[in-house]
Chain A
Amino acid sequence: MKIFGKKEKKVSGPESLIKRRLLLVNIIIAIIFVLLGIRIYYLMVINGDYYNRVVLSQRQISYNSQVLPSRRGDILDSDGNLLATSIKVYNLIIDPKVITSTKDNRYVNATIDALSDVYDYNRLELRNLIEEKSDKAYIRYARKISKEEKEKFENYRDKKNEEYKKLGVNDRINGVWFEEEYKRYYPNDTLASNVIGFVNGDGVSVMGLEQYYDAELSGVNGRKYGYLGDNYELESVSKKAIDGYNIVTTIDQRMQRICEEKINEWKNGEIGSKSASALIMNPNNGEIYAMASTNSFNLNDPRDLSDLDEEYVKEVGKENIWFSRWKNIPVQDTYEPGSTAKIVTYSAAIDENVVKSDEEFECKGFIELDDGEHKWRIRCVNRNGHGHLSLMETLTKSCNIGMAEMAEALGANTFIKYQKTFGFGQFTNIDLPNEANTSKFVHNESNIGRTDLSTNSFGQNFNCTMVQLAAAFSSAINGGKYYEPHLVKRIENQNGTYIKQIVKPILRKTISESTSKYLRESLFETVETGTGKFAQIKNRNIGGKTGTAEKLPRADKNYLVSFIGFDDKDSPNLVCYVVVDQPNLEGEAQASATFATKIFHDIMKEVLSENE
């Protein structure tokens, strides 16, 4: 067969080998094109609807809406130090659908190994989870992992996958990702815990400022989602998260620390008591600088009861222990104030001019009351009687009889009017949740009997909270201006720009300027010469009043002792109130206000020493 023709470079004819071969190649190419056509027909017409569904569902997966977490605002002390803050953490998400997506299971072992190598997770548990939930794409396996821990995994994964690649192994770590979240963190653990309150793992605020200012602190979560735009182009839109506001409190960390230290020293000391609480406030504007009680807890782990005996926990019940620990005693607990409340009777009598400064009192140790049928006695602190007393001495020596007489002189209606003016029986509206309602624990004009009037006059037979008494006391010594006690002075956004300045105006007048001045003198004398001697601080004109109250039921002979005082008789700037609930002593031995007075002394001494 000839391939080349006569002239050797010419094709010899249409039937030559070269032409047949050329045709053969053409036919092969044609066949291949037909195959391509069939393949395209198969893909586009027969399977087209399937692929179209895949495309649409894929779009939904990759552009699924996603929450952009907002950051909860910080809680700051009055100097701008952090009391509560939010730090970014990560949730570890396992996607079993992806992990089990290949036939050769190339992701399963590598991913399980990686998770257990980095985080020490149980391999078997992971394997079971991935196998059981292989159709799920989202399992939140671990919560609130720190940034460092997250990066540790990511670095491990990248390094390991690179190694696998180099080794030519199919295994890959895949199907694990991290979701952003914020975690609440309290840098001082227990400090002011009962005031600050905390946020649960699920973001619900519990107790304290966290709860009261929840609306201001919480932001609004954003969202990211994709949609198909005009040109069928995928577009992703995100609605930014709006961060919450910061709140700047009036809390003075130093004073708060001193208060906590001193009451805990007492509680853990020789005698100790069921509980002890202290608060410091500015009488001239109602700002609370410190509010402490011995039932504090770690805000970063509020449910930790590991310090307690298991048997005890079982017996009392976790919830009960939690709530008693989380409780903010100065706001939530009510009690009979005892003699500290005598300032109400005393200043009311002076303000109403029912007693004169040179008036004299005679205390036989009791007074006798009668309603025409019965006669009964009300006893004084001093069973033997104080004897001859000046007006001021009725307070400095804490004479019940003097007070009862003054209340008699005022009359029930006027007395109750003053009680109300000083805020007893009403909410102080302090910016904390769960303030105790004392309206049922005081008398009114229609139900107050003569005994009630007498006992009320020296602080018995009605209940109040520590905050109520401290606010009342503040107004009594500051010239008669009643300020709403409060803990937050400013709300700002997270850049520090003011959103709202909180200034509490004078709510009402309680007593006159001159009465207030006379009261300060009398309270100063109480500390100088009277029942409050233990409160004396060198070079300071401390004034204050002791209080002892027998708790209900009286038969138990349990007492609550207290002291409330201020730093300077001429211009008071600090009011400090200490309450010791049920000292660990038997019966009447508890009834010594000295315990509270000494704590007051220790607190004020330290607070003032650095204020100089």
Chain B
Amino acid sequence: MTKLKNKKFEYITFTTVLFLVFFGLIVLYSASSISSSRLYDNPIYLFVRQSFFCLIGVLLAVVISFIPYKLYSKFAKYIFIVCLMFVVVTAFAGRISRGASRWMMLRGVIFQPSELMKLAMIIYLSKVITEIKGDFENKENLFRIMMIAYIPTLVVALSNLSTGIILFIISTSMIFIVSKKKLIFLFIITLIVVAYLFASPMANLLSSAGLLKNYQVGRILAWKEPENYPDIAYQTLQGLYAIGSGRISGRGYLKSIQKSLIPEAQNDMIFTILCEELGMVGAVAFLVLYLILIYRIFYISFRQKEISLMLLTFGIGVHIALQTILNIGVVTNLLPNTGVTLPFVSYGGSSLLVMFMEIGIVMSVVRYERVDNE
């Protein structure tokens, strides 16, 4: 059995991402114009910034794709520990300064360490799971995995619930695919489905038991009946109006009415403007691009011979899928409002760059893929 380097450039992933980035920027140009004008007195300010981030991101992905993954996977533990430290520091600093607890300043650049935490956890977890050979019967192994998978999740969840949930689902699904256990996962999924379906009665029950505060119950009720809570659900409601009013073919590019009513339309709510302007046709086109990207990554994962690489690419695929699902789920009000960005389209540097790094890693995995020569 000889090992041959694949040396393939992963065109499908790369091209799909370029399409998403390109069309995403076109949508962002329209969606960000109001915020740009209001905040910076320059309607293309945010667009130019985002274009710059995208350019950096694409270059970053290409550069990473040429670096053998094995070269830095050795340092997975240290990357993980450094990220965890950042997360802890920002969580506590954030506690003290009350507010911007998700952000930290690094050399004058505002950075969100929890975004990087996702990638660091995927890398480290895939390494450790491989090391313990999937043996969760051993208590020591189990404890180690639990620590790696859920300590960062808890720390992040303290200040940013949605990122905590994303970390939880990514790590749990990574454990899930190698674990022999069934019941525990079935239990978790059942719990999630039940909680989802019976959110309002449960919220009322918990609040009468004194376990939930009124405003938390209000949020859940506002999610279920947004039209009855127009102030709490303002953003959701305006987003729904935007999506719905796009109908099949959309109002037309640059013709959004709702973007002046939706605050920060270029961030988490960008999909609503996309729907309003480009209609069902545009929305489906974007969904198709995401599906191509996600399933291409899953396919790459599926064909890996090495468990660590399989887990790594699987984790990345789950991450991108999850962000997409959560974002669209929130704006269509299938899920309660949490701040999740839409991959490659929403405005924002940290999450965008991390996503590009992940794409770079996937491309690198393909480039240095071992091909069995039988």
Contact = CB atoms under 8 A, between A and B. Distances in A.
Given A4-B133, A22-B301, A231-B254, A54 B173 contact: no
A456 interface: no
A567 to B, nearest CB: 67
A44 B246 contact: yes
B95 interface: no
Nearest to A167: B214
A36 B225 CA distance: 19
Contacts of A4: 133-134, 307
B240 A43 contact: yes
The interface residues of chain B, by DSSP majority, are classed as helix
B316 interface: no
In this complex, the interface size class of chain A, counting residues with CB under 8 Å from chain B, is 35 or more
Given A29-B321, A36-B287, A234-B257, A51 B240 contact: yes
Contacts of B231: 172, 174
Contact of A29 (B215, B275, B325, B332): B325
Contact of B244 (A52, A58, A59, A102): A52
B245 A55 contact: yes
Given A4-B134, A33-B287, A168 B244 contact: no
Interface in A37-53: 37, 39-41, 43-45, 47-52
A44 B246 CA distance: 6
A305 B351 CA distance: 75
Contacts of B26: none
Nearest to B215: A168
A423 B302 CA distance: 113
B255 A232 contact: yes
B242 interface: yes
B298 A26 contact: yes
A200 B254 CA distance: 50
Given A29-B294, A40-B275, A101-B230, A18 B177 contact: yes
Contact of B248 (A35, A45, A172): A45
A18 B245 contact: no
- Of the listed residues A26, A47, A169, the one surrounded by the most CB atoms of chain B closer than 10 A to its CB is A26
Contacts of A170: 214-215, 218
B291 interface: yes
Contact of A1 (B180, B214, B306): B180
Contact of A50 (B133, B244, B306, B318): B244
B280 interface: yes
Given A1-B180, A49-B247, A55-B258, A8 B240 contact: no
Interface in A470-526: none
Interface stretch (A9-17, A281-289, A582-590): A9-17
B310 interface: yes
A104 interface: yes
A174 B231 CA distance: 10
B300 to A, nearest CB: 11
Contacts of B275: 40, 43-44
Contact of A234 (B221, B260, B284, B332): B260
A233 interface: yes
Contacts of B298: 22, 25-26
Contacts of A10: 305-307
Contacts of B214: 167-170
A440 interface: no
Nearest to A233: B260
Interface string B268-282: 000000010001100
A412 B168 CA distance: 117
Contacts of B243: 40, 43-44, 51
A270 to B, nearest CB: 71
Nearest to B251: A232
B318 to A, nearest CB: 7
B339 interface: no
B283 interface: yes
Contacts of B230: 101-102
A9 B308 contact: yes
Interface in B288-316: 290-291, 294-295, 298, 301-302, 304-308, 310, 314
A47 B332 CA distance: 13
Contact of B241 (A3, A25, A54, A167): A54
A283 to B, nearest CB: 65
Nearest to A171: B214
Nearest to B230: A101
A178 to B, nearest CB: 19
B176 interface: yes
Contact of A3 (B178, B213, B294): B178
Contacts of B254: 231-232
A55 B257 contact: yes
A103 interface: yes
Contact of B310 (A18, A52, A165): A18
Contacts of B159: none
Contacts of A32: 325
Contacts of B310: 11, 18, 22
B229 A102 contact: yes
Contacts of B228: 101-104
B334 A39 contact: yes
B328 interface: yes
B79 to A, nearest CB: 21
A23 B180 CA distance: 15
A21 interface: yes
A54 B302 contact: no
Interface in B195-226: 213-215, 218, 221, 225
Contacts of B305: 10-11
Contacts of A169: 214
A59 B260 CA distance: 10
A159 interface: no
B329 interface: yes
A88 interface: no
A19 interface: yes
Interface string A227-256: 010011110000000000000000000000
B325 A33 contact: yes
Nearest to B173: A25
Contacts of A41: 280
Nearest to A54: B241
A534 B332 CA distance: 95
Contacts of A172: 231
A100 to B, nearest CB: 11
- Of the listed residues A8, A32, A41, the one surrounded by the most CB atoms of chain B closer than 10 A to its CB is A32
Given A19-B302, A26-B298, A29-B325, A232 B256 contact: yes
Interface string A48-92: 111110111011001000000000000000000000000000000
B247 A21 contact: no
A36 B213 CA distance: 30
Contacts of B160: none
B201 to A, nearest CB: 15
Nearest to B33: A233
A104 B228 CA distance: 8
Contacts of B73: none
B51 interface: no
B261 interface: yes
Given A44-B279, A54-B245, 10 more contacts: A9-B130, A22-B310, A40-B275, A40-B280, A43-B244, A43-B275, A44-B280, A48-B246, A165-B215, A228-B257
Interface of B: 130, 133-134, 173, 176-178, 180, 213-215, 218, 221, 225, 228-231, 240-248, 251-252, 254-258, 260-261, 275, 279-280, 283-284, 287, 290-291, 294-295, 298, 301-302, 304-308, 310, 314, 318, 321, 325, 328-329, 332, 334
- In the complex, the 6 A-B pairs of residues with the closest C-beta atoms, listed nearest first: A51-B244, A48-B247, A21-B177, A232-B255, A168-B214, A52-B245
26 contacts: A4-B134, A9-B306, A11-B305, A17-B180, A22-B298, A33-B290, A36-B325, A39-B334, A40-B284, A40-B332, A43-B240, A43-B243, A51-B241, A51-B242, A52-B247, A54-B241, A54-B244, A102-B228, A103-B225, A104-B221, A165-B215, A170-B218, A172-B231, A174-B231, A231-B254, A234-B257
